[in-house]
């Protein structure tokens, strides 16, 4: 049991160190994937399009760096900026969303990349605290399992 807990502890420790060391690569990878999701965005309900819509609605953002990122997409040439960028669904018409200057006051202008990464970084202290607490319980479990093993081993010799 102590060996199993030690293995889990080491896996979590390695994952935390790798995540910390490669955090810039994770950000870069997220940004490129978000750009790909915008480029391939369409009106059919695929997972990537739904994820983009959810991020934009939840964080009140639009595009990767800003709302004008949509201008480079095929979706923009057909339909304009997506409805998920609108501040108010009642105020956004399809004609307004096809023109960036008309759309600017009606859509969120901030990009999603900065908001997602800043939200993640602000929650990192909570995640680190919870991880540290779990690691402490694992270490206590390892120590108690070793003590129990030692106690059982000592009692076997006394019975003979």
Residue 143 has pLDDT above 90, yes or no: yes
Assigned fold of 1-158: Cd81 Antigen, Extracellular Domain; Chain: A (1.10.1450)
Cα separation, 151 vs 145, whole angstroms: 10
pTM above 0.85, yes or no: no
Question: Each residue of 68-113: pLDDT tens digit?
Answer: 889 888 888 888 888 889 988 887 888 888 888 888 898 998 999 9
Cα separation, 62 vs 114, whole angstroms: 11
Give the CA distances from residue 106 to residues 79, 115, 157, in Å, rounded to whole numbers and listed in that order.
16, 19, 80
Q: How far from the centroid of its chain's Cα atoms is residue 50's Cα?
A: 15
pLDDT value, residue 158: 59
Residue 159 has pLDDT above 60, yes or no: no
């Amino acid at each position: 049991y102590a060996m199993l807990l030690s293995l889990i502890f080491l896996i979590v420790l390695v994952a935390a160190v790798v995540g910390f060391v490669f955090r810039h690569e994770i950000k870069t990878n997220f940004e490129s994937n978000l750009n790909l999701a915008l480029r391939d965005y369409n009106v059919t309900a695929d997972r990537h399009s739904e994820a983009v819509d959810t991020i934009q609605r939840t964080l009140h953002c639009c595009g990767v760096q800003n709302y004008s990122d949509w201008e480079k997409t095929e979706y923009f040439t057909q339909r304009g900026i997506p409805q998920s960028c609108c501040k108010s669904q009642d105020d956004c018409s399809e004609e307004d969303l096809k023109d960036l200057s008309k759309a600017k006051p009606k859509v969120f202008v901030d990009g999603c990349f900065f908001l997602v990464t800043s939200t993640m970084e602000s929650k990192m202290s909570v995640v680190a605290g919870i991880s540290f607490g779990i690691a402490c319980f694992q270490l206590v479990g390892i120590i108690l399992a070793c003590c129990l093993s030692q106690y059982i081993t000592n009692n076997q010799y006394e019975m003979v």
